[in-house]
Structure 1
Amino acid sequence: MSKDKLLHNKNTISIKYKGIDINVNLIYRKRKNITIQIKPNYEVSIISPLGVPKKLLKNFLIEKSDWILKKFDEYKEVEHIYKEKEFVDNEKYMYLGKEYNLKIIIDENEEVFIDNDLLIVRVKNTEKEYIKNKLKLWYKKESERIVIERLVYCREHCSMMMRLIPSKLKVKEQKKRWGTCTSKRSIYINSKISMARKEAIDYILIHEFSHLVHMNHSKDFYSLVKQMMPNYKEQEKWLKENSYKLKL
């Protein structure tokens, strides 16, 4: 276990400041400085060197309470970004870069489809996990279809893409990455890629296929990406700015 791993059990410290109760996770590690971490879900942790008394840490937290509350206010403004999906009517979901309102219909004949501005889910079971799994399956199938469609488009418009042949191309669930390219030249694309707009999908494909030439993110790698997609930075920016929408 590395030095930065948790070495002692985690417990809590509670303080009250300006009428607000703040519960803080206490984590002891082998380190020199005391730091405070705040996650977007308002989870506060204080990370301390071994042996520092709780009373001293509590005083430290009180001194930093204004900063903690300021962070809470900042997170409130972007709370929607981190809010988990409820899979209920009128919740917004992305498909090819456009937002659609979810519409759930109880029906024995199950299907998922787009109709005007609605993402319609016909299901016999309206439990959250059931609807979530139906949507995951639908997005994966759409992603498989769209990846092939956009790959054909990229190859028709870029001769270099015609020469880049992976050993495998597969759409599968990935938690953090839009795509990966392995040392065995296998390319895996995120099963939610159909949420992104077509230009961003093209960029993800070009990015991963470029790794067949350069297995890194060097200047040569990005030079190749730019050769195939001159405006790739625009697509990178779009993906970053819309990442909170592109999720289930």
Structure 2
Amino acid sequence: MKDIYEGASEILAWLGPEGEKGLLGASKIAGIYQRYVSEWERLGTPDAAYQNPRLTLGGSGLSVMAALLDRTWFHRVWIVQEGTVPVRTTFYLCHSTIPADAVYTVARLISALPLQITHSDLFLGTVSGGHIWELAEFAKKRARECEEFSLLTVLETFRNFEASDPRDKIYAALGFAGDISNEHPIEIDNPKPHRQILRDVALTCLYQSPRNLRFLGHASLRGTEHMPATWMLDWL
């Protein structure tokens, strides 16, 4: 699927029906993005528009934007393949459209706001939780054709997303990782138990760098339901 998406000239992503003030949220994001572009043109550099995020965002509409950014599409691990392709990406909501660049830019602006301005945990599951920010950063890295992702880098990104089958967080990452040896691959085997898949990942990391145990820095402080051994990283 990754290869199919990379051959596309444009990506159209469906966010769902209008729903709970969805069009209003999209309209707010589009308006903020236009003000950002105007600031960019006025000041001459893209980063200048971020220097006063309160002025750029204004004080209203945060709740409807939060609801839009919390839609299922932004949380699913498999959408990383389509949502980060370095081509023009457009989000569809009912009959309305909004550029992905606008969504990612406004997410960055929101992340620069003081917590009290964002009404505490309003964006906790989206911008503050890292999903949209990670999508935007991953898209930038894919745009640099010389960029080769390590297995650990991809797994670290994908672990924060959701999947109906937790094993998909591993399998979705395999197409991006460029450092997996053909001698020690991670086989895609859907019936394989979670623990065995995590063991395979740990063994692959050891084969990659037998004298370097940095991958252990990604391990949790205690065992989990998938992997009771603390040194075996739980990416699920």
> Is the structural similarity TM-score above 0.5?
no
TM-score by length of 2: 0.24
TM-score by length of 1: 0.24
Instruction: Using CA pairs under 8 Å that are at least 6 residues apart, name the structure with larger relative contact order, 1 or 2.
Output: 2
Q: Which has the higher strand share?
A: 1
Q: Which has the higher helix share?
A: 2
